[in-house]
Homo-oligomer: A and B are copies of this chain.
Amino acid sequence: MKVIKFGGSSLASGKQLEKVLKIVTADPERKVVVVSAPGKRYAEDIKVTDLLIECAEYSLQNQDPKEKLESVLERYAAIAEELLLPDGVIREIHDDLVTRIASDKSKPDRFIDLLKASGEDNNAKLVAAYFQSRGVEAHYVDPKEAGLLVSDEPGNAQALPEAFERLYSLNKRSGILIFPGFFGYSESGEVFTFSRSGSDITGSILANALKADLYENFTDVDAVYSVNPSIVKSPKEIKELTYREMRELSYAGFTVLHDEALVPAFRAGIPVNIKNTNNPSAPGTLIVNQRDNTNGPVIGIASDKGFCSIYVSKYLMNREIGFGRKLLGVLEDYGLSYEHTPSGIDDVSVILRENQLDEKVMDAVINRIKNELHADEVKVAHSLALIMVVGEGMRQNVGTMARASKALANASVNIEMINQGSSEVSMMFGVKEVDEKRAVQALYEEFFVPVTV
């Protein structure tokens, strides 16, 4: 049995829904279909979820959300019209939205969650109606009745352990089950959404709970690329990668899959297949527990800007038990999460995302490090980029670092920092932001472009 999830762009129009129907019915194993809200039809289009957020905000500010509500309804109506669906389904969606807008606003976060969730919920009803209209046995599934219990954290709900047991009984139902993504219900019966891109999470939870053989995740790219296509033109596609590789890549800039979404599938060891709704015959990318190492040591290169480093030096720091713990404690007091802590004998640097701190917080942090830890010197470097070179194959490969650092040297990129040795499937380079593109290109050339002699 397969759980199959479609992203917003795969459900943006009647034409897209026709592809979805074809894909689902092409394989009798495709039993549970998780749907997002209708996404963009063209670059300037607005996603239904974004329209719903505006709708909620208007209502909370006591403005009339009627116009926004109309835009949402129009999106569903356009699809229904294109597919010649009976009127009933649009009337049902209209009534649902009116009820939601009229509901309790005393807890704004929860009200926003209730509105946002309607995007997926109503789309699931629409998709079920469409499948039925084509003579396919399909049923909308209400997550409440199915037992998708979640914690009561608005915008960041977590599935509760009981949810998995309850959802398992969906296996007994007949026909194709159309399940709305992105949200669940708390024990008191209220709607709470997952974090953004949460339909991936719903699919992953269902794959785990129903003990699926495969979780197919349909989006609008043929595969996960080995490197960002905006940096390297038409990069190599990745056929197969492990969870660990995916996680390391998704850390820095790879946004095909929301990395938290993988957790439930990962825990149950269920493979995930990233595929393209617009080109379903392409094999896509398979994410697995273990893979044969057929290609070179490196499977992908990811990079991200916007990091800074706080350098702290103190003579004989190395002898001072507790120094590192105290330093991290200062950061924690300001709610700052850090990425890495490369260290010398008498110095340590903390690398963190720059957007976490403004100048005021930075000054406060520096002052505390100077005064409480008696550091000799504290200095900050801005505008760093981190580059992850990822691959299970580098575990056994003696010369990978030599190749990578040689490629960077040849491209005149100064390596500000290297972090290698804890994860066996990645090495990280810190470079100046201005060097990021050149560095990634040089690494791609080294590991992916065959040498022509």
- For the complex, is A415 an interface residue (Cβ under 8 Å from B)? yes
Please state if B398 and A402 are interface contacts (CB–CB under 8 Å): no
Of the residues B341, B412, B418, contact of A341 by C-beta under 8 Å: B341
Query: Which of B324, B406, B420 is close to A417, meaning CB atoms less than 8 Å apart?
Result: B420
Give chain B residues whose Cβ lies under 8 Å from the Cβ of A415. Answer: 398, 401, 420-421
B430 to A346, Cβ gap below 8 A?
no
Nearest-CB residue, chain B, relative to A384: B421
Whether A216 sits at the interface, judged by CB under 8 Å, is no
**Residue A413 CB within 8 A of the other chain:** yes
A338 within 8 A of B: yes
A344 close to B402 (CB less than 8 A): no
Given A328-B328, A398-B413, the answer on whether A422 and B348 have CB atoms closer than 8 Å is yes
Cβ of B316 and Cβ of A263 under 8 Å apart?
Answer: yes
Is the pair B335, A321 in contact by a Cβ cutoff of 8 Å? yes
Restricting to A340-363, which residues have a CB under 8 Å from any CB of B?
340-349
Q: Which residues of B contact A335 (CB under 8 A)?
A: 321
**Nearest Cβ on chain B to A401's Cβ, whole angstroms:** 4
Q: Which of B259, B311, B401, B402 is the one whose CB lies under 8 Å from A422?
A: B311
Count of identical protomers in the assembly:
2
A345's contact among B321, B322, B402, B426, by CB below 8 Å, is which?
B426
Query: A161 contacts the other chain (Cβ, under 8 Å)?
Result: no
Residues of B within 8 A of A338 (CB): 324
- A175 in the interface, Cβ–Cβ < 8 Å? no
Interface residues of A, dominant DSSP: mixed
Q: Are A420's CB and B418's CB within 8 A?
A: yes
B421-A260 in contact (CB<8A): no
Interface residues of A in 397-443 (CB under 8 A from B): 398-399, 401-402, 405-406, 408-409, 412-423, 425-428, 430
A278 at the interface (CB under 8 A from B): no
Asked if A168 is at the interface (CB within 8 A of a chain B CB), the reply is: no
Could you say which residues of chain B place their CB within 8 Å of the CB of A448?
A: none
- Pairs A-B, 6 closest by C-beta atoms: A344-B423, A417-B421, A399-B409, A325-B328, A402-B405, A349-B422
A contact residues vs B (CB 8 Å cutoff): 247-248, 251, 259-260, 263, 266, 311, 315-316, 318-322, 324-325, 328-329, 332, 335-349, 388, 398-399, 401-402, 405-406, 408-409, 412-423, 425-428, 430
